[in-house]
Amino acid sequence: MKNIFIIIFSLLILSACKEEQELSSVNPINWNKRTATIKPNNNLVSGASHLSVYSQIYSYTEHKKHGLTATISIRNTDRKDTIYLNNASYYDTHGKLIRSYFKKPIYLIPMETVEIVIDETDKEGGTGGNFVFDWMIKPNRNEPLFEAVMISTSGQQGLSFTTQGVKIH
């Protein structure tokens, strides 16, 4: 009987242990499966977009911050053509690169959306985090759309807002 109690207790302890979780994830996208080969002289038009992303916002005073979960939505708004992303880089409030999400160009098929999730526990971006996306499209086609949804809940209160990317030079 004592051995059964020890076994059950041990199993309960093991099941209570949490695995270490990534602070930023893409679910269920695997960037390596999206790798695109882009040939020179491909007649693609290059562009770049900036997206404001808030890992934290001030609450009550400038000395107290509230963490947020951010969903970064990358959308191909073209009904006919694939778009290509060369870069998705995440910077903190001070302009320091936190991470880049892929090393080789990737593709999104027409009307496809992929997402990056910045977990609420990931505070690296701070109150002024930024994404920069470098992209390529066929001439005279729709540019990609970049949006972020930031959300947090505490008790029965929720907080959410969105930002939208802007083209930069």
Q: pLDDT per residue over 101-140, tens digit each?
A: 988 999 999 999 999 999 999 899 999 999 999 999 999 9
Q: Encoding tokens for residue 127?
A: 């109150």
Q: pLDDT per residue over 80-108, tens digit each?
A: 999 999 999 999 999 999 999 988 999 99
Which is it for the CA torsion 153, 127, 163, 132, positive or negative? negative
- The contacts of residue 44 (CB under 8 Å, 6+ apart) are 38, 84, 136, 137, 138, 139
- pLDDT recorded at residue 4: 63
pLDDT(15) > 70:
no
Share of the chain above pLDDT 70, in %: 83
- pLDDT recorded at residue 9: 52
Q: For domain 22-168, give its CATH number from 3.40.1310, 2.60.40, 3.30.420, 3.90.400.
A: 2.60.40
The per-residue b/e assignment along 90-103, b for 16 or more CB within 10 angstroms, e otherwise, is bbbeeeeebeebbe
**Angstrom distance (rounded) from CA 114 to CA 135:** 14
Tell me phi and psi for residue 151, to 5 degrees: -150, 150
Q: Where exactly are the structural domains of the chain?
A: 22-168
Q: 74: closest CA among 111, 122, 24?
A: 111
pLDDT(77) > 50:
yes
